Structure 1
Amino acid sequence: MTKMNEEFLASMREAMELLRTAGPLEATGFIQRALRGIDAGAQPRAQPETRVQPAQVVEALLPRPAGAERPAAREETRVRPDKAEHAPHGDSHGAGHFSARTYANHAGQRGYKLYVPGGDKGRPMPLVVMLHGCTQDADDFAVGTRMNALAERHGFLVAYPVQPMTANPSRCWNWFNPADQQRALGEPALIAGITREVMASHQVDADRVYVAGLSAGGAMAAVMIQAYPELYAAAGVHSGLPCGSAHDLPSALAAMHGGKMGAGAGAAEAGPRRPLIVFHGDADTTVHVSNAGRLLLAFEGGVSLDGKPQRSRGGRTFTLRHLTSPDGIDAEYWLIHGAPHAWAGGSARGSYTDASGPDASAEMVRFFLAHPMRK
């Protein structure tokens, strides 16, 4: 990274402090000046040699948890969950397949990895589509969430769409772009296309197809359940934001830190379309916990935190709320006390994980399998 880019990213950190202390309007003005290559003091700057993308600005503001280096890419296509880091979720002795694939349609092209559990199930299986967070990839997310081991244990497939650096320099799903928030356009069209391709090439139970994600992936999972309610039976959002929360970089930063939501967020508030399970840490400094409440506004008119605190096996306490919409659609809200911006109960071998939290992967799978497509 050039010295000029380092200065630019430093100015973005100043913008985040402005967002916290002075509000989104002041922070937005600062960001706009920085994007034009002008200092906050209105002194002209030379243009940087390498143009900084908005997504790099977002990534610069994300904390780097200790030990969060991405694991080296793995080449194996056969996995023995009983011998791997996945083992805490079961002792199955079947060898599943974890293979890389590519999908293309009118919206572009994306790679993805598919985990198929071992053994001949002889029946249609559920499918879980997992959307990674910024800086992550399929291998990292699979290791961190241990979802493949759960797939082996319960008998379902897992697809991991991969956001390339060509689409976003930090590998974030572009949840804040209007063109990536709509059915049949952009990234939603690609993720839905990957889902349908797996359904066409494998024995998939069409009534048990689910989508989940972390952070930017969680925000995109919220988009997918709104845009494709006929495709996904339920969704899981971990440390994410509601569909339509933002329409550009400044509004994304404001929404991430609990500021004013975009006008499009009203779609989620108007009424849930499918069951939803939400996890969020109340010490998350990257995506403010208020976004979890906004995701659930249409369930019982909102989220009250009067549930009884419980303690997870890892040590963290959490408050679990069960909610139901006026139309009888279920939701669960797991508020994890003291937890940062990380996947609860995840493996330390993956990035952005918090092993001390309740097991988000296992609880999502339980919730999903209890909620087939509602006709």
Structure 2
Amino acid sequence: MIDATMTKRMEEATRLTRAGKLHEAMALLQGATPAQCGEETSDNTYPGGNTFDGTCEVIDEEVTASKPEPAESPTGSFTTGDIKMPAAWRDKWMKFRGGMTQSEPSHGTIEEPQPGAFTAGCFTNQVGTRDYKLFLPSGYHGQALPLVVMLHGCTQNPDDFAAGTDMNRLAEEQLCCVLYPAQPMSANSSKCWNWFKAEDQQREGGEPAIIAGMARQIIDTHGLDDSRVYVAGLSAGAAMATTLAMTYPDLFAAVCVHSGLPHGVAQSLPDALGAMQGGSGPLGGGKAKGSGWASEVPAIIFHGDRDTTVHPSNADRVAAQYSTSRQAGAAVEQGKVANGHTYTRTTHHNAKGQPQMEQWRIHGAGHAWSGGSAKGSYTDPKGPDATKEMLRFFLQHQQAR
């Protein structure tokens, strides 16, 4: 779908083209193309299985009124005159140029997400642009379902993370919608969420504002339940998930932090590496409890005690930032997965006796999604099923409205 900003850019690009300023027009179009939107979708597949070619090329020719009609290329893009553009823009572009009054269906048209489908989209606000994948269960018929936001780890993408966590299967069974924001290499060369940058640790700024805005748009578009919105992540995604719980406690009803780090423990890459190695600061991430780096959002925390990427002590630091509303004392349970890892689960309750925080220490596990599928990266099928337990915990919590 071409939003108002893109429309304005295309109108201006048309004006520049008619004035003979082709390079300026193409530079403007490229500023709105999937170098920002569509850049990191793993298979470039958009809703309905259509291919969107995210390129615009300039050929050293002059635009004239006698250029041939648009021709479709094997990549799914269209060449109109000397401008090669994404097929999804072809109809709009030609209407602006006055080159057509009726348009044939474009092979690159982005369709509306359908129930039971895993579709791709793009979100833009005043802060920036990110692609995403969205899963709507087949049982969705417009009712106000919960939304789970899933933040992948470094080097991963939404498809990989969905496969590894097996989240869509459980969402299909329990009627949840799932949103997978994508971090592009242009934002971080390893596709890590930038949890360690000060500008990405605040409300209404940086990546938290993009992810929160994306979630709100999905909620509004599909009529989802804004009192049952949850966020989860792995590794860098987990660190960003806990940042979202700190900065948007009015949006997220619960958070899952898997192999992650606490909010605000780093302001730079060296800080991040130090925190990942265990650091030397006090629990709570180097800040006093009264500093404001605390949240009453219910939290479920998973961490392997053999994690050599993010030191297991970070799980306790994360837990300390969610300690403000839990009661003294905790229920401790030991367990073992059949033919898998043992684990220790510690549950804290609030004043009403409801589970406010669960901390899972998985013995013998490394830096991987516990109980995940081998179809995705960074998974450990031998662990307790983090996806199942996370969803159980999430659905016990709802924002007061």
Once the 2 structures are TM-superposed, how far is the Cα of residue 144 of structure 1 from its aligned partner? 0.3
User: Is 1:105 aligned with 2:131?
Assistant: no
Structure 2 counterparts to residues 191-340 of structure 1, below 5 A: 191-261=211-281, 263=286, 266=289, 271-297=294-320, 298-299=322-323, 307-324=332-349, 330-340=356-366
Taking structure 1 as reference, are residues 179 and 283 closer, same or farther at Cα in structure 2, changes over 3 Å only? Answer: same
Query: Does structure 1 conserve the Cα–Cα contact (< 8 Å) formed by 2:337 and 2:383?
Result: yes
- Select which of 201, 205, 208 maps to 1:181: 201
Taking structure 1 as reference, are residues 175 and 265 closer, same or farther at Cα in structure 2, changes over 3 Å only? Answer: farther
Length, aligned pairs only:
291
Once the 2 structures are TM-superposed, how far is the Cα of residue 272 of structure 1 from its aligned partner? 2.9
Query: Does structure 1 conserve the Cα–Cα contact (< 8 Å) formed by 2:333 and 2:344?
Result: yes
Superposed CA deviations along residues 158-182 of structure 1, whole A, max 9, x for unmatched, are: 0000000000000000000000000
SS across alignment from 1:307: strand
Q: AA paired with 1:193? A: G
Equivalent in the alignment of 2:369: 343
Query: Does structure 2 conserve the Cα–Cα contact (< 8 Å) formed by 1:242 and 1:268?
Result: no
Unaligned runs of 5+ in 2: 1-41, 50-113
Taking structure 1 as reference, are residues 282 and 120 closer, same or farther at Cα in structure 2, changes over 3 Å only? Answer: closer
User: Is 1:165 aligned with 2:189?
Assistant: no
Query: Does structure 1 conserve the Cα–Cα contact (< 8 Å) formed by 2:327 and 2:349?
Result: no
Query: Does structure 2 conserve the Cα–Cα contact (< 8 Å) formed by 1:294 and 1:302?
Result: no
User: Is 1:140 aligned with 2:160?
Assistant: yes
Query: Does structure 1 conserve the Cα–Cα contact (< 8 Å) formed by 2:253 and 2:298?
Result: yes
Once the 2 structures are TM-superposed, how far is the Cα of residue 305 of structure 1 from its aligned partner? 9.7
Query: Does structure 1 conserve the Cα–Cα contact (< 8 Å) formed by 2:193 and 2:236?
Result: yes
Taking structure 1 as reference, are residues 264 and 112 closer, same or farther at Cα in structure 2, changes over 3 Å only? Answer: farther
Once the 2 structures are TM-superposed, how far is the Cα of residue 106 of structure 1 from its aligned partner? 1.4
Once the 2 structures are TM-superposed, how far is the Cα of residue 299 of structure 1 from its aligned partner? 2.7
Structure 2 counterparts to residues 16-31 of structure 1, below 5 A: none
Once the 2 structures are TM-superposed, how far is the Cα of residue 273 of structure 1 from its aligned partner? 1.9
Q: Distance in 2 between matches of 1:186 and 1:265?
A: 24
Taking structure 1 as reference, are residues 374 and 325 closer, same or farther at Cα in structure 2, changes over 3 Å only? Answer: same
Once the 2 structures are TM-superposed, how far is the Cα of residue 74 of structure 1 from its aligned partner? 7.8
Superposed CA deviations along residues 127-163 of structure 1, whole A, max 9, x for unmatched, are: 0000000000000000000101111101110000000
SS across alignment from 2:243: helix
Query: Does structure 1 conserve the Cα–Cα contact (< 8 Å) formed by 2:305 and 2:364?
Result: yes
SS across alignment from 1:128: strand
Query: Does structure 2 conserve the Cα–Cα contact (< 8 Å) formed by 1:244 and 1:267?
Result: no
SS across alignment from 2:226: strand
Superposed CA deviations along residues 271-307 of structure 1, whole A, max 9, x for unmatched, are: 4321000000000000011111111125388999983
Unaligned runs of 5+ in 1: 1-71, 80-93
Query: Does structure 1 conserve the Cα–Cα contact (< 8 Å) formed by 2:374 and 2:380?
Result: yes
Query: Does structure 2 conserve the Cα–Cα contact (< 8 Å) formed by 1:314 and 1:358?
Result: no
Where relative contact order (Cα < 8 A, 6+ residues apart) is larger, the structure is 1
Q: Distance in 2 between matches of 1:310 and 1:348?
A: 23
Equivalent in the alignment of 1:28: none
Q: Distance in 1 between matches of 2:171 and 2:290?
A: 32
Query: Does structure 2 conserve the Cα–Cα contact (< 8 Å) formed by 1:246 and 1:264?
Result: no
SS across alignment from 2:260: coil
Greater Cα radius of gyration, structure 1 or 2: 2
Taking structure 1 as reference, are residues 304 and 132 closer, same or farther at Cα in structure 2, changes over 3 Å only? Answer: farther
Q: Distance in 2 between matches of 1:196 and 1:271?
A: 23
Once the 2 structures are TM-superposed, how far is the Cα of residue 372 of structure 1 from its aligned partner? 1.0
Q: AA paired with 1:239? A: S
SS across alignment from 2:180: strand
Taking structure 1 as reference, are residues 313 and 353 closer, same or farther at Cα in structure 2, changes over 3 Å only? Answer: same
Query: Does structure 2 conserve the Cα–Cα contact (< 8 Å) formed by 1:219 and 1:243?
Result: yes
SS across alignment from 2:187: coil
Q: AA paired with 1:283? A: R
Superposed CA deviations along residues 179-225 of structure 1, whole A, max 9, x for unmatched, are: 00000111001000110110111021111000000000000000000
Q: AA paired with 1:106? A: Q
Once the 2 structures are TM-superposed, how far is the Cα of residue 73 of structure 1 from its aligned partner? 3.7
Q: Distance in 2 between matches of 1:319 and 1:125?
A: 32
Q: AA paired with 1:369? A: L
Q: AA paired with 2:253? A: A
SS across alignment from 2:332: coil
Q: Distance in 1 between matches of 2:377 and 2:274?
A: 25
TM (normalized to structure 2)? 0.67
Taking structure 1 as reference, are residues 176 and 126 closer, same or farther at Cα in structure 2, changes over 3 Å only? Answer: same
Q: Distance in 2 between matches of 1:312 and 1:167?
A: 38
Q: AA paired with 1:150? A: L
C-alpha root-mean-square deviation of aligned residues, in Å? 2.7
Q: AA paired with 1:313? A: A
Q: Distance in 2 between matches of 1:142 and 1:267?
A: 37
Taking structure 1 as reference, are residues 310 and 216 closer, same or farther at Cα in structure 2, changes over 3 Å only? Answer: same
